[in-house]
Structure 1
């Protein structure tokens, strides 16, 4: 009834009456809803003109992917009673017809789309702009532009996210969408061969409106998988159904892939999803940081974004690790903490040049003061002491001269720098706790 009420708001009253009068939902299964329709013209309208709309409404109402099967009530046995033709079919008769319909109809693969992977959560940059634009075009005109769409690029760069985002848009339009990895596709073929159900397998995949297949490179060299996919591809493409494929490389570089598949993959549009540049990585981190419950300073986000070649997956992993470490330790997010988290995620690629600015920011965060205060003229101990610690670390841990350190610290002369270093050195000789504190700062700097 809820589906009918929603459908009434999308179609004219006349079409609603002629299509839905007398319809009865007779069976609901995990992947299918069977509807009995008394008149053949109405059944044809529901199966054809209105099928996409009703499927979308049913999935939205029941909160799961399913397909609709429309059946006619079973014919009545002849009877001598003059009114027998007007006796309605029994419930058992309708259910038997529903079971027959379910067995005869192909079970279309469920969409299997991650609800988080949408266009709204996909962050666009120069590295993926073409692929994103192609995805948007397909979402508005499936089967007519860029068919197939072949997305290629390294691991963890967002190909699957974009693939599923397109799938969500197509499903929202009422299209029957199937997302599958090449491994799952291969396993289903093997299972179909073992159980002699190849025709059912073919029927499932050729009854959909859009096929989204991930990591196609793994079918190379699997003769039976390539054969079945070749025929599935042809059947869908000839029917103007949308095909979207992802791979970690171009078709021509997939080893042992049959030439006839390679050429078909190149029919439509091949779009690169490349490694994000620094600005793109930083924007990804800003968006992700806004979703967590703790504050992450901009300098820390810039630090995480700095390693070249970082994938989106690596960035998210580094950020998640940093947040976890901050929660576990009950501490604020600092540059020193980020250095530890980044070393675990990126290894040596997390190293950056030890410029005076980096040292100043590290010390400022440690002592809960601002870098601007350390560069100023203030002489209160809460500011002067962190400034002297920064002087010492710049002298001991970098190649900067005294003059360069003085310039970096607000234009101070070299004698001031020498005095500050002597003060810190004296404290090191007399205060064991400060020694441990300074070693923590040293370790953070050496990990940068």
Structure 2
């Protein structure tokens, strides 16, 4: 048993004379909860704090617990400092507030107190070894979701021309009241890395949960892990029930979802949620039509909602993001400052994604801290020299190639994907396959699937034929160069 701390109860006044240390801790906690409820209002308190419980009070810390990692992450990110302030104001002594998930809390036998929940106020002595808690079931582990970053909220998301529609659609999903039917279902966001997909998904998770919705954010990897773990532990039904009883499911990096059984389970989950009026929001690095590894039924269902692309960040937006993020670094690191001219240099020359911008700022910070040299234009030019790119090539998609080739040769996209073998269709189709092989990173089988489900040998034959003609047909070579420029515009 943990030894209760010796407390001089007389100094607390006659109202609690004779009370135990556990009573005092519980009463103090109830007053802290009451003040918090009064400050933030009943709605927010009921959504986030009604299941927050006091486990024990140590000499230097207060140990609280919640039932899920999602709640723990949110409270730590938004209110742990305020809870520490309220406890200090109530007790007169500062203590660090620690929040844990209840399934992972090692508890000694609670003392019986006058309040319904007893609290142990302990000395810093070693407790006797306690048995480790059982590992949580796969269903509850997945239902808790992947970890959320408290910084990724709508308030910290910088909006510009390239992401306005995606931001508005995500906000619409997040602001829906509990029980309200979805407007865009599923909402599918796609973009290259570092353009804000994950930020919007996590922002929607934070905002949706704050409105009382049951929200689960999962990466595709986490979804696959949970499904495999559920199969191994014979808990597949519990896994399915855990995901299908929520209000909003958010899946990130869907392009990594692999395996026939995994895709079937995801498709069943998707159908079950959408058919019952629940919201689904998905992010990937390409549109549904280009997720060649996914089953046709899954791609079709995903494409049936609202599909929105986040485009590369324009220079003005990059500048706004740099200002916001550099200001955050200035607040964290005394003596660090980035002149406006340096921000303009980075915005104009470094990449087209938020991660590129973060990398440049972090490099300036490292130079400043390690050498003591202030950030100047000359210093920045030297520091980020390896990050400057003369131009970022456009990410070419097979859809872009089909569109340009169809327009150039006055045929339809359907003709290019069809089985027709007339001369006016075969040549444009072979040219489109050649461009897909030379301008994208797609494999021959992937290109074949995009061209009406053809075999990779058909694509290889087309590529070799066009390649051979280019050596002797000058007109065709010029035509191909024109098409390449049109695709890259």
TM range (shorter): 0.5 to 0.7
3-state secondary structure, aligned to 1:290: helix
Q: Deviations over 1:147-185 (max 9, x none)?
A: 111010000111101111111100101212111110111
- Checking the alignment, whether the CA contact within 8 Å between 1:147 and 1:243 is kept in structure 2 is yes
Which residues of 2 match residues 282-293 of structure 1 at below 5 A?
282-293=319-330
Which of 285, 293, 309 aligns to 1:248? It is 285
Instruction: Supply the distance in 2 between the matched residues of 1:29 and 1:178 (Cα, whole angstroms).
Output: 23
1:29 shift after superposition: 10
Q: Determine which of 304, 329, 346 is the counterpart of 2:371.
A: 329
Aligned counterpart, 1:298: 340
RMSD of Structure 2 on Structure 1 (CA): 3.8
Conserved? CA contact 1:278–1:308, under 8 Å? no
Q: CA 1:122–1:67 in structure 2 vs 1: closer, same or farther (change >3 Å)? A: farther
8 Å Cα contact 1:112/1:178 also seen in 2:
no
CA distance 1:63–1:244, change in 2 (3 Å)? farther
Helix, strand or coil at the partner of 1:196: coil
Residues 120, 64 of structure 1: alpha-carbon distance in 2 compared, 3 angstrom cutoff: farther
Provide, for residues 131-160 of structure 1, a one-character-per-residue CA deviation record: whole Å limited to 9, x for no partner: 001111112226421111101000011110
Name 2:237's counterpart in structure 1. Answer: 199
Asked if the contact 2:146–2:222 (Cα under 8 Å) also holds between the matched residues in 1, the reply is no
The alpha-carbon deviation at position 120 of structure 1 amounts to 0.7
Q: Does 1:258 align with 2:300?
A: no
Gaps of 5+ in 2: 1-29, 44-49, 56-62, 69-73, 84-96, 104-115, 118-132, 331-335, 393-489
Match of 1:243, SS state, is strand
Q: Provide closer, same or farther for how the CA distance between residues 127 and 295 of structure 1 changes in structure 2, counting only shifts above 3 A.
A: same
Shift, 1:65, TM fit: 9.4
Partner SS for 1:178 = strand
Deviation of the 1:203 alpha carbon: 1.7
State the partner residue of 2:384: 342
- CA–CA distance in 2 between the matches of 1:349 and 1:334? 24
Q: Secondary structure at the match of 1:171?
A: helix
2:305 matches 1:268: yes
* Deviation string, structure 1 residues 409-442 (Cα, Å, up to 9, x no partner): xxxxxxxxxxxxxxxxxxxxxxxxxxxxxxxxxx
- Assess if the C-alpha contact under 8 Å between 1:118 and 1:161 holds in 2: yes
Who is 1:120 aligned against?
155
Q: Secondary structure at the match of 2:250?
A: strand
Offset of residue 187 of structure 1: 1.4
State the alpha-carbon separation in 2 of the partners of residues 184 and 270 from structure 1.
23
1:35-94 superposed Cα distances (whole Å, 9 cap, x missing partner): xxxxxxxxxxxxxxxxxxxxx99x9789969799xxxxxxxxxxxxxxxxxxxxx99xxx
Decide whether the 8 Å contact of 1:152 with 1:271 is kept in 2: yes
- Contact 1:109–1:204 (8 Å) recurs in 2: no
Kindly tell me: are residues 203 and 5 of structure 1, through their superposed partners in 2, closer, same or farther at Cα, counting changes over 3 Å? farther
Structure 1 pair 267/32, CA: closer, same or farther in 2 (3 Å)? same
CA separation of 1:312 and 1:188: change in aligned 2, threshold 3 A: same
CA distance in 2, matches of 1:26, 1:162: 33
Taking the aligned partners of 2:146 and 2:233, their CA distance within structure 1 comes to: 24
- SS of alignment partner, residue 328 of structure 2: coil
Name the CA shift for 1:320/1:208 in 2 (closer, same or farther; >3 Å): same
TM-aligned CA deviation for residue 31 of structure 1 = 5.6
- Greater CA deviation, 325-334 or 241-250? 325-334
The residue that corresponds to 1:32 in the other structure is: 67
Whether the 8 Å contact between 1:109 and 1:205 is mirrored in structure 2 is no
Equivalent of 1:168 in 206, 212, 217: 206
Structure with the greater alpha carbon radius of gyration? 1
Partner residue, 1:280: 317
Alpha-carbon separation, structure 1, partners of 2:362 and 2:343 = 12
Shift of 1:241: 1.5
What is the count of residue pairs matched by the alignment? 288
- Give the conservation status (yes or no) of the 8 Å contact 2:144–2:216: yes
Within-5 A mapping of 1:66-81: none
SS at match of 1:292: helix
| Alignment check: 8 A CA contact 2:64 2:99 kept | no
Alignment of 1:23-62 (within 5 A): 32=67
So what's the TM-score if we normalise by structure 1? Answer: 0.56
Separation of aligned partners in 2, 1:291 and 1:300: 16
Q: CA, structure 1 residues 4+189, in 2 after alignment: closer, same or farther (shift >3 Å)?
A: farther
- 1:111 and 1:286 map into 2 onto residues whose CA distance is 30
Q: CA 1:118 to 1:334, structure 2 compared with 1: closer, same or farther past 3 Å?
A: same
Q: 2:259 aligns with which of 207, 218, 222?
A: 222
C-alpha separation in 2, matches of 1:264 and 1:64: 40
Question: Structure 1 residues 312, 228: CA separation in 2 closer, same or farther (over 3 Å shift)?
Answer: same
SS in 1 for 2:234: coil
- The CA deviation at 1:205 is 1.0
* Match among 215, 219, 224 for residue 181 of structure 1: 219
Offset of residue 240 of structure 1: 1.6
